Structure 1
Amino acid sequence: MNNKLLSFLEEIKAQGNMSKAAQALFVTQPYISRVIKNAEDNFGVKLINRSSHPLQLTYAGERLLDFLQEESQLQANLDREMTHLSQFKYGHLTIASNEAVSNDVYEPVLLKFYEKYPEVHAQIISISSSEAEQRLTAGSLDFFLGDPIRNHKVQYVPVTHIPLALIIPSSSVLYQPDQTFVDFSKLDLSKLVDESFISIPRNNAYHRLVASFLHNQGASVEYSIEVPDISLVASLALNNLGVAVIPESYISKKNPYELKSLNIARIPVNMLTAEFGISYIKSKLTAEPVDDLVNIISDIFKEANPS
């Protein structure tokens, strides 16, 4: 019942509406109401302020949600560590990255890591930073490479800053014919008004970073194309589909003939970069391997980019 109550309270808080919460969880609205009412009778407090629109949790509801989330995390940690103890000397590590991390980053990291820890079972996945934060705090993820995660339950180590570039299609008012690379300092971004902009989801830290930068530059773009990851943003932008801000690494992978009919403006690093780092949860079981993994990744990035 606690798991159901937890998911119901989380969804009601997120949706602000009982019916929408029920739809999101694929249950009926009367069922959610009954579970919430039983819990209120059991604890003798109101968990939801039903007079507010949208619905809000009461203080008691917020406190109960906090306790249930902590209980869920403790249970997940227990289950995971028992599995570790039964199968591996150092256990299992789930390592995730966002889309800015290419596969060639993992090769030197894993080669060095497995020289010392051949007993570790590792799973490598690709997820967004928002999903990574949820999974880290829930105990189903050990390690994340990507955007900074600011959460008191998560340890974060900055590694580097990723240079970014503005991609300008031939349809843009800023487009300069017969040029590929243009000087960013000579561009007037305030001329970007209602132009089609390619973006990742708005709840992503990278999207918020870029949106804030464009706003400060006086640009008013239309976020008309939203895709799941940065690699797809880069692919579409480099195929002249719309304006976008992408990591420079995606440009270097292209042949020059593939960059025709668009402009690329490298954004000065003192104006905008994407911070890149390591976020992780360290348990007693995996403390030593995780510490070494942090050091290996930091060293490899310093070797690749001493500045």
Structure 2
Amino acid sequence: MSMNLRLLRYLVETVDAGSATRAAGRLHVTQPVLSRQLRQLEQDLGLPLFERQGHRLRLTPAGEHFLPLARNLLRQADEVRRAAASIAGGRLDQVHLAVPTTTLSDVLAPFLATLRPDDPVPFVRQLDPRGADVALHSGADLAIVTRPPARPLASLALAVLPVWAQVPAAHPLATRSTVDVGELAGHPLVLLTEDFRPRQLLDEAVAAAQVSYRETIDCTNAQVAQALAAAGRGVAVVSDDPRFGLTPLGLTGPGGPVRIHLYAAWDPRHHAEPTLAGLAGRLAAFCAEQYGSSVVP
């Protein structure tokens, strides 16, 4: 079965116009030509799309069922044309971002609020835990990762951010500015699960200090961990900014402060590589302004 997009447009325009006469005028063809084209479409599809009553056309049940499919196909065809024009011109109308959930609320979302009207429209999804290479091969244009991306990917160091131990004001540690992981392990803790980078960094520091956790609650969301800490269930260990009145303490381990590194990664062969590099540079500058130049590597 052949499919002619022009004939599908004739179908949709005829339905939207409400009559073949008005549709022919909008399409700049004569009514007999339009009628022949619609019959050709029915023949190509093997479907009776219209019931004909004189000069009036009325969709058949088959036509009613087929119409939304035609609309969707035309919409996709328009998107393909726009994408092709963008690629040919080196433009990027929509940028797909793959981001760890731990950096979405405090880093990426505030940065997106600074985008200009001529910037690509952002589409954000969760970073694949297997890293930048998998994310980019799965359709992301720009990935934010917590490990240095391997070549041949292009990359830019964005920031070095602290991993916090966060406690309510009444907690015994609340008057401190830092806490050692050896001491922290002796308190009840609310931790992110092991697929989150802040937890991995804490586990590494605790292992290096040769201590063990006394009591833990695992969470899959940083804000939930903070809420539980505010409710007195334990010390939340996250990289997010404090919420719910919590006091943040810097974590230190045998190797020094426990920190999380952020990198932007993209394919240097991307048709809009200059745009991606520019966005990464602006994100790095935003991180420096937001968190202070001392956290930028």
Q: Which residue of 2 aligns with 1:19?
A: none
Post-superposition Cα deviations, 1:217-257, rounded to whole Å, max 9, x if no partner, equal 3430167433223333333233322233223x532x443xx
Bigger Cα displacement from structure 2, 81-90 vs 235-244: 81-90
CA distance in structure 2 between the aligned counterparts of 1:168 and 1:227, rounded to whole angstroms: 16
Structure showing greater Rg: 2
Contact 1:199 1:223 in 2 (8 A): no
What's the secondary structure of 2:116's corresponding residue?
A: helix
Match of 2:212 among 215, 220, 229: 220
Kindly report which structure 2 residues correspond to 1:115-264, keeping only aligned pairs within 5 A, or say none.
115-117=117-119, 120-125=120-125, 127-128=126-127, 130=129, 132-133=131-132, 135-167=134-166, 176=172, 180-184=174-178, 189=182, 192=185, 196-221=188-213, 224-247=216-239, 249-251=240-242, 253-255=243-245, 259=246
Contact 2:100 2:144 in 1 (8 A): yes
Normalised by the length of structure 2, the TM-score is 0.56
Q: Percent same amino acid at aligned positions?
A: 10
CA distance in structure 1 between the aligned counterparts of 2:117 and 2:192, rounded to whole angstroms: 37
Contact 1:113 1:293 in 2 (8 A): no
Normalised by the length of structure 1, the TM-score is 0.54
What's the secondary structure of 1:266's corresponding residue?
A: strand
Q: Which residue of 1 aligns with 2:250?
A: 266
- Give the Å deviation of 1:264: 5.1
- Give the Å deviation of 1:280: 2.3
Match of 1:99 among 98, 101, 112: 101
What's the secondary structure of 1:285's corresponding residue?
A: coil
Contact 2:155 2:266 in 1 (8 A): yes
- Aligned pairs, number: 210
Q: CA RMSD in A?
A: 3.8
CA distance in structure 2 between the aligned counterparts of 1:112 and 1:243, rounded to whole angstroms: 33
Contact 2:145 2:262 in 1 (8 A): yes
The 3 A distance-change label for structure 1 pair 149 and 226 is: farther
What's the secondary structure of 1:140's corresponding residue?
A: coil
Q: Which residue of 2 aligns with 1:60?
A: none
Contact 2:181 2:252 in 1 (8 A): no
Contact 1:190 1:218 in 2 (8 A): no
Pair 1:306-2:288 in alignment: no
What's the secondary structure of 1:245's corresponding residue?
A: strand
Contact 1:168 1:243 in 2 (8 A): yes
Contact 1:165 1:266 in 2 (8 A): yes
Q: Which residue of 1 aligns with 2:34?
A: none
- Give the Å deviation of 1:199: 2.6
What's the secondary structure of 1:221's corresponding residue?
A: coil
Gaps of at least 5 residues in structure 1 are 1-79
What's the secondary structure of 1:114's corresponding residue?
A: coil
Gaps of at least 5 residues in structure 2 are 1-78
Q: Which residue of 1 aligns with 2:54?
A: none
Contact 1:146 1:277 in 2 (8 A): yes
Post-superposition Cα deviations, 1:1-59, rounded to whole Å, max 9, x if no partner, equal xxxxxxxxxxxxxxxxxxxxxxxxxxxxxxxxxxxxxxxxxxxxxxxxxxxxxxxxxxx
- Give the Å deviation of 1:131: 5.2
- Give the Å deviation of 1:190: 5.3
